[in-house]
Amino acid sequence: MEKPVNGQLMKPGGLPEGWRRPEAASRLHVEVNRVHRALRQGFAAFLRSHSGLSLPEWRVLAVLEELGALAQKDVVAAAFMEQAQVSKALTRLRAAGLVQDGRSPGDGRVRVCALAPEGAALVARLRPLLQARRDSIDGALSPDEQEAFIAALARIAAAAGQADATPPTARQERVTEPEVDRGTRRA
């Protein structure tokens, strides 16, 4: 069933009517991106409607809930996010009273951030809703289909890594250390 979006008729799957995959594009890449976009947009809408949080804000809260107080650089690593995204999310979360700052017990010079009681309460309120959403998405496939899908994704990821590797050229230049003049040095 087609539906208008921004004045354009969209095919099922969110593609504009008449859209064709570019010849050079991998069908699997296009489909994985389409599913990723649907999952991400759906989760973002879910978070907005149930908490007013953005995806980066949720990821920061989830990391702090799971790992406890962390330095900002550790939040960046644990959340697999860019420094700027984490910084912006932490600023908003602090302003909302969901995250608080403190000092590292091991090194008083290091600032750490942790869930404030209000942040912990929000995460606790969202957990059952998130589990229901997860169960709904995961329930789209049987356990056997899930295993097959995950195995297929691993093969796609491996193939993408190989496809992205720079192929060797016929004329590769050898990298050598610069020559050192071993002659006598003048004082």
Q: How many independent structural domains does the chain possess?
A: 1
Assign residue 6 a region: left if phi > 0, alpha if psi is -120 to 50, beta otherwise? left
Strand locations in 18-127 (E): 99-103, 111-115
Is position 93 within any domain?
yes
Residue-range definition of the domain harbouring residue 104: 53-132
Question: What pLDDT is stored for residue 164 in this prediction?
Answer: 62
- CA–CA dist 67, 113 (Å, integer): 11
In a domain, 171, yes or no: no
Amino acid at 107: D
Whether 160 is in a domain gets the answer no
Report the Cα 87 to chain-centroid distance in Å. 15
Domain membership of residue 104 (yes or no) is yes
167 occurs within a structural domain: no
> Would you say residue 97 lies in a domain?
yes
* Phi, psi dihedral angles at 80 (to 5 degrees): 55, 50
Is 125 part of a structural domain of the chain?
A: yes
Q: What is the CATH number of the domain that holds 79?
A: 1.10.10.10
pLDDT tens readout for residues 132-182: 999 999 999 999 999 999 999 999 999 988 766 555 444 344 343 334 344
Q: Which of 109, 64, 65, 117 is nearest to 86 (CA)?
A: 64
Residue 123: inside a domain: yes
Dihedral sign, Cα of residue 161, residue 163, residue 168, residue 173: negative
Rounded CA gap, 38 and 30, in Å?
12
pLDDT in tens, the chain (187 residues): 445 544 544 455 566 677 676 777 888 988 999 999 999 999 999 999 999 999 999 999 999 999 999 999 999 999 999 999 999 999 999 999 999 998 888 888 888 999 999 999 999 999 999 999 999 999 999 999 999 999 999 999 999 887 665 554 443 443 433 343 444 444 4
